[in-house]
Amino acid sequence: MSQEEFAGIFPYLVTPIDQSGNLKEDVLRDLVNHLISKGVHGLTPLGSTGEGAYFAWEVKKKVIDVVVKAAKGHVPVIAGVNEMTTHGAVKQAIATERAGADGILAVLPTYFPLADIHVVEHFRAIARAVSCPVVLYTNPKFAKWDFTIPMLEELAEEPNIRYLKDASGNTGKLLSIANTLQDRIRIFSASAHVPVFVFMIGGVGWMAGPACLIPEQCVNLFNMAREKRWEEAFELQKTLWSLNVAFQNYSLAACVKAGLEMQGFPVGSPLPPQRQLDEEGKKIVSQILTNIGVL
Amino acid sequence: MSQEEFAGIFPYLVTPIDQSGNLKEDVLRDLVNHLISKGVHGLTPLGSTGEGAYFAWEVKKKVIDVVVKAAKGHVPVIAGVNEMTTHGAVKQAIATERAGADGILAVLPTYFPLADIHVVEHFRAIARAVSCPVVLYTNPKFAKWDFTIPMLEELAEEPNIRYLKDASGNTGKLLSIANTLQDRIRIFSASAHVPVFVFMIGGVGWMAGPACLIPEQCVNLFNMAREKRWEEAFELQKTLWSLNVAFQNYSLAACVKAGLEMQGFPVGSPLPPQRQLDEEGKKIVSQILTNIGVL
Amino acid sequence: MSQEEFAGIFPYLVTPIDQSGNLKEDVLRDLVNHLISKGVHGLTPLGSTGEGAYFAWEVKKKVIDVVVKAAKGHVPVIAGVNEMTTHGAVKQAIATERAGADGILAVLPTYFPLADIHVVEHFRAIARAVSCPVVLYTNPKFAKWDFTIPMLEELAEEPNIRYLKDASGNTGKLLSIANTLQDRIRIFSASAHVPVFVFMIGGVGWMAGPACLIPEQCVNLFNMAREKRWEEAFELQKTLWSLNVAFQNYSLAACVKAGLEMQGFPVGSPLPPQRQLDEEGKKIVSQILTNIGVL
Amino acid sequence: MSQEEFAGIFPYLVTPIDQSGNLKEDVLRDLVNHLISKGVHGLTPLGSTGEGAYFAWEVKKKVIDVVVKAAKGHVPVIAGVNEMTTHGAVKQAIATERAGADGILAVLPTYFPLADIHVVEHFRAIARAVSCPVVLYTNPKFAKWDFTIPMLEELAEEPNIRYLKDASGNTGKLLSIANTLQDRIRIFSASAHVPVFVFMIGGVGWMAGPACLIPEQCVNLFNMAREKRWEEAFELQKTLWSLNVAFQNYSLAACVKAGLEMQGFPVGSPLPPQRQLDEEGKKIVSQILTNIGVL
């Protein structure tokens, strides 16, 4: 599966846990089956929404195993590698590929501020350690660094660094990246962006948490965009946008987990110090899902 | 003219001055005639690019007189009111309307931080002092306040507050505003946004400095968007985007003034402490204008 | 008076106005006399607290005339020059000196972001236009620029640039400035700093709004510091600190004006869009002044 | 040892590693012995400088064991607990206490933004899991949260939450905390602060990286402050300040590790993506250490 291009809707899977923090493998398997049945084009466990920065490797390994096995090759699995040290990230990237993931979403959390060269060398080290495609991830709101275009040009020289998921919300920057990097780096939208605009820029897909809750709608949006039915795509986008907004206002993992619980997937709460969505948040998410027609 | 809706390309006019800071009325008149001959739909003197925050009222009054007279009613003139005190802004708004402006672009610079209620009451006072339409302006990068959606809902109750020019660059927020305010507030794109996306959201025009340099191209872009020829519009947008980027990297007024000088309009330098674009900046702007075919 | 060194407590005078925005000259005169009788070492009209960025020159001119005349040479008057353009600032600086001010506090508000060279040339132009001492002012919270040490070193070459009032609250930076610039630039504390620590660093005085409300206490603090009675100075500092904190939480001018009204000086409200302190703010300021014993 | 109050100079120990990332136990032991011989009052392994956010628990456990054993009870050991999840932090806190640490420095790195209640419950959970004193740590430059005074008041109700190390650099806030919390929370200075001012506020010590490089000088500073020889203390402070500044400009761990290498402790480089100090940085640190007389 790894020779094809990644494109389309890749829900950021949550990591379902019980009150003791143990992985609920069954729930994860059900969620995978449900999403595939709704037509998603791939699956991304252990991204931001998947609390990839919080879980120990033992749990993460199990998540990858469950998702790869449940996906049965029907859709590609791009698993998150989310480690503060380069050494740790490289080790997990290798193990992730070995466990059957088709690609790696490389996230770089940090404690100390990072200089550009630190960031470039980190992602380069990951790319060189694996043979599968690597998706670069940047979220200047969560990290203390961001990719400049020269940094992306440098990283695009690695043959398997082929995608970028940018969560900045800065559409103009994406257009500049698309204009400069062209096909050397393909762009995935995040939920901080208006996905239909990213598709117009040439973005190849949407990789984010809300797709767990509205997979069919996301697939429809993607198909309209691929067929350049922009008017129709934008009308659909307008109805879906409220969910992206909720994600920006509330804690990501808490928001998707609350919505999935409402839809009948007992995925539990995020790991503390994150907490369950509060009552007001739940009411808002419930209202949005009802309006979209998925509750 | 004030009964019609404002829509289309409204270049932010620079304020041409000689080395002593005196207004070059002839150059301003030539620029107005040139832009009208290129098909722009309106003119906006004394916005950010017009250094509206920097000039004394005597100069601003002259600018409005020259532009209104040169426009001869062919296109509407929306003049900037850019004052720190509410009292001063109200006085200038009244005088601006009396001088024949068809609308007011209300900009609120500030020294002290402002609370939401300060901001709302300032714009409301301006709106109530005039009968022409008022365009709200916000630029969170230059000011220390920004409109929330509840603030816009409150201001939209004033019958002549009808437009918003948002220079935040946050396209998602514009979509939220369009979804919530609908037709109560019509949106103009700024150069921090990708205009074609703002048009898709329902934006009625583009009001910004770059339109001084590429008026025909902007009009074409607007026409394509109005006719929903999105593919074509986006292809054109891609070629024009580099100019928006230059505006974000360099000082606004310096950037447009340098470009107009290259195009044969001796508009001079910005008022100190702002300065002429440096040599490197000029080279970049010159290259961009050459690539677009307007030099 | 201008040949002596400036040192000690320089209250930032408010600008008393009636509801129509007219200067209440009598109230200003009374305030000047009151503060001199309490032992302050100088007076600073038209600083931040004096709403120097908001008033028209006609009002500012009157303020300077009233303060200079009322001070009768008993204490030096350092008047604020607070203009966005270099040309305007230079003109006002010259007129301010001619009107009898002993020094100039140079404040640089801005609409567009400024590069270091813009800032340096602005202050240099002011310094070269007058012969009296110039106090540089920086407040990174209100402006979009700040002095670096190299910028200060460049400016210190102007013989009459002799003082710095830094409102950053960054005590460590002040220590770095003091270590590097030594006596070439003398430091005044702002109310964002803990004044006693600035005195320990070598600061020559305190120039800020709270001194209008607690002039005697400030003079005592300064005297203790000058006599190196640090323990005693710090004990007094602790009791006064709550007033500085209130200033950081509430609007500066609104806060001092409210306090002066409570002390019997009918100075009015700040110019809109600024507003009178709200009831909660007044209660807090009143409580603090009562605790300090000045109400 | 845990019944006494913590006070004085607590160097933030680096974590010495070889090129493969393995702990150099001998070097760590030598460093501990050296610092104790220089008179420090305690030791803090696994703080920011100790790269506590980066190392796996196996390495951290070894660090604690080596330091506790080498300290031989001569000085207290306050070990860092630096984990993103509450569950992980609680587990490590318990193990840290069992391993013989006299106190815990609780650091909360995060990927997602945190609300006040998340933060309070995290630290409370740690405090309740151990019986030794807990030092709260906050660094708004590295994390995405900060303590407000109400949060500190809530946490101070836990009997073993007794100290705060604040790395904000905001001296005024420390004074507000000291005024409000009094003896309920004792303050340690960080290197972002001017330590002598924190001592004047009532701070009980200094807990930071530079103390590894200039232990004697720090002890002298502390003693002068304790004896209220403020003039002398401040004169010494001035000569030491350049080292704090270097720490703010360069990466913390890289800076101390470079300095220790110069002083003959082969502690190695920080864990990638952090890197060794570059040549310019080394030159500056070397010059500073030479000026202070410790090289």
Quick check: A6 pLDDT over 70? yes
State the Cα–Cα distance between residues D67 and D52, nearest whole angstrom: 14
Question: How sure is the predictor about D143, in pLDDT bands with cuts at 50, 70 and 90?
Answer: confident
Question: How sure is the predictor about B1, in pLDDT bands with cuts at 50, 70 and 90?
Answer: very low
With an 8 Å Cβ cutoff, are D275 and A87 in contact?
Answer: no
Long-range contacts, stretch D200-203, CB < 8 angstroms, 24+ apart: D200/C196, D200/C197, D200/C200, D200/C230, D200/C234, D200/D225, D200/D230, D201/D171, D201/D174, D201/D175, D202/D178, D203/D174, D203/D178
> Is B173 considered catalytic here?
no
Counted residue by residue, chain C has a size of: 295
Instruction: Collect all residues of chain C within an 8 Å Cβ-Cβ radius of residue D196.
Output: 200
Mark whether C and A touch (3+ CB pairs within 8 Å). no
Select which of C12, C24, C54, C137 is catalytic: C137
State the Cα–Cα distance between residues A198 and A218, nearest whole angstrom: 13
The pLDDT value given to residue A251: 84
With an 8 Å Cβ cutoff, are B111 and C109 in contact?
Answer: yes
Q: Among A209, A156, A207, which Cα is nearest to A178's?
A: A156
Query: Residue D134's beta-bridge partner residues?
Result: D104, D161
Q: Which residue has the higher pLDDT, C252 or B181?
A: B181
Strand ranges across the sheet with D161-166: D8-11, D205-208, D186-189, D161-166, D134-138, D103-107, D78-82
User: Rounded to the nearest 10 degrees, how much is the dihedral formed by the CA atoms of D127, D130, D133, D137?
Assistant: -40
Quick one: average pLDDT of C246-274? 94
B281 CB within 8 Å of a chain C CB: no
Quick check: D1 pLDDT over 70? no
The pLDDT value given to residue D239: 96
Select which of D137, D163, D257, D282 is catalytic: D137
The pLDDT value given to residue A41: 98
Quick check: A186 pLDDT over 70? yes
CA distance A88 to chain D (A): 9
With an 8 Å Cβ cutoff, are B238 and A179 in contact?
Answer: yes
Q: Which chains touch B (3 or more CB pairs under 8 A)?
A: A, C
Per the listing, tokens 């945190």 go with D114
Question: Residue C273 is nearest to which of B118, B253, B272, comparing CB atoms?
Answer: B118
Quick check: B142 pLDDT over 90? no
CA distance A113 to chain D (A): 7
What are residue D287's phi and psi, to 5 degrees?
Answer: -65, -45
Question: How sure is the predictor about C249, in pLDDT bands with cuts at 50, 70 and 90?
Answer: confident
State the Cα–Cα distance between residues B257 and B16, nearest whole angstrom: 8
Quick check: A53 pLDDT over 80? yes
Sketch the domain layout of chain D as residue ranges. 3-238
The pLDDT value given to residue A1: 41
Select which of A165, A250, A257, A282 is catalytic: A165
Question: Residue C244 is nearest to which of D172, D228, D234, comparing CB atoms?
Answer: D172
Distance separating the N- and C-terminal Cα atoms of chain A: 34
Instruction: Collect all residues of chain D within an 8 Å Cβ-Cβ radius of residue C244.
Output: 172
The amino acid occupying position D240 is L
D142 CB within 8 Å of a chain A CB: yes
* pLDDT tens string A60-116: 999 999 999 999 999 999 999 999 999 999 999 999 999 999 999 999 999 999 999
The pLDDT value given to residue A212: 98
Average pLDDT, chain A: 96
State the Cα–Cα distance between residues A9 and A219, nearest whole angstrom: 6
Distances B280 to A88, B53, B284, D114 between C-alpha atoms, Å: 43, 26, 6, 43
User: Mutating which of B85, B110, B144, B280 best tests the C interface, going by the most C Cβ atoms within 10 A?
Assistant: B85
B85 CB within 8 Å of a chain C CB: yes
What are residue B76's phi and psi, to 5 degrees?
Answer: -70, 150
A112 CB within 8 Å of a chain D CB: yes
Question: Residue D230 is nearest to which of C170, C172, C230, comparing CB atoms?
Answer: C230
With an 8 Å Cβ cutoff, are C175 and D194 in contact?
Answer: yes
Quick check: C3 pLDDT over 70? no
What are residue A130's phi and psi, to 5 degrees?
Answer: -125, 170
B86 and B125 in contact (C-beta within 8 Å)?
Answer: yes
Quick one: average pLDDT of A43-71? 97
Instruction: Collect all residues of chain B within an 8 Å Cβ-Cβ radius of residue C118.
Output: 272-275
Instruction: Collect all residues of chain B within an 8 Å Cβ-Cβ radius of residue A187.
Output: none
Query: Residue D137's beta-bridge partner residues?
Result: D165
* pLDDT tens string D229-250: 999 999 999 999 999 999 888 8
Question: How sure is the predictor about A2, in pLDDT bands with cuts at 50, 70 and 90?
Answer: very low
With an 8 Å Cβ cutoff, are C200 and D230 in contact?
Answer: yes
* pLDDT tens string A200-210: 999 999 999 99
Question: Residue B118 is nearest to which of C88, C109, C274, comparing CB atoms?
Answer: C274
Of all residues in chain C, the one with the smallest CA distance to B19 is C87
The pLDDT value given to residue B249: 82
The pLDDT value given to residue B251: 84
**What proportion of chain C, given as a percentage, has pLDDT over 90?**
95
A3-238 CATH pick, 3.30.420.40, 3.20.20.70, 3.40.50.12500, 3.30.565.10: 3.20.20.70
Instruction: Collect all residues of chain C within an 8 Å Cβ-Cβ radius of residue D231.
Output: 228, 230
Quick one: average pLDDT of D166-191? 96
**CB within 8 Å of chain B, chain A residues 198-257:** 200, 228, 230-231, 234, 237-238, 241-242, 244-245, 248
The pLDDT value given to residue D25: 98
Instruction: Collect all residues of chain D within an 8 Å Cβ-Cβ radius of residue C197.
Output: 171, 194, 197, 200
Two tokens, residue C53: 């960025």
Select which of C24, C60, C165, C282 is catalytic: C165
Of all residues in chain A, the one with the smallest CA distance to D107 is A111
User: Mutating which of D234, D248, D292 best tests the C interface, going by the most C Cβ atoms within 10 A?
Assistant: D234
Quick one: average pLDDT of B200-229? 97
Quick one: average pLDDT of D156-162? 98
Instruction: Collect all residues of chain D within an 8 Å Cβ-Cβ radius of residue C179.
Output: 238, 241-242
Select which of A12, A54, A137, A250 is catalytic: A137
With an 8 Å Cβ cutoff, are C53 and B142 in contact?
Answer: no
> Is C61 considered catalytic here?
no
Question: Residue D273 is nearest to which of A21, A119, A273, comparing CB atoms?
Answer: A119
Quick check: B208 pLDDT over 80? yes
Of all residues in chain D, the one with the smallest CA distance to A252 is D112
State the Cα–Cα distance between residues C231 and C225, nearest whole angstrom: 9
Quick one: average pLDDT of D10-27? 97
Quick check: C1 pLDDT over 90? no
The pLDDT value given to residue D2: 42
Counted residue by residue, chain B has a size of: 295
C197 CB within 8 Å of a chain D CB: yes
Quick check: B173 pLDDT over 70? yes
Instruction: Collect all residues of chain A within an 8 Å Cβ-Cβ radius of residue B176.
Output: 241, 245
Select which of B24, B165, B257, B282 is catalytic: B165
Two tokens, residue B262: 């290259």
C48 and C142 in contact (C-beta within 8 Å)?
Answer: yes
Residue A105 DSSP SS3: strand
Distances A61 to A6, A127, A265, B243 between C-alpha atoms, Å: 22, 19, 21, 47
* pLDDT tens string C154-165: 999 999 999 999
What are residue D282's phi and psi, to 5 degrees?
Answer: -60, -40
Contacts of A157 (CB under 8 A, 6+ apart): none
Instruction: Collect all residues of chain D within an 8 Å Cβ-Cβ radius of residue C228.
Output: 230-231
D273 CB within 8 Å of a chain A CB: yes
Q: Which chains touch D (3 or more CB pairs under 8 A)?
A: A, C
Quick check: B3 pLDDT over 80? no
Two tokens, residue C57: 């020159």
Distance separating the N- and C-terminal Cα atoms of chain C: 34
* pLDDT tens string B36-45: 999 999 999 9
Instruction: Collect all residues of chain D within an 8 Å Cβ-Cβ radius of residue A268.
Output: none
Strands (E), chain B: 8-11, 78-82, 103-107, 134-138, 161-166, 186-189, 205-208
Quick one: average pLDDT of C23-33? 98
With an 8 Å Cβ cutoff, are A122 and D273 in contact?
Answer: yes
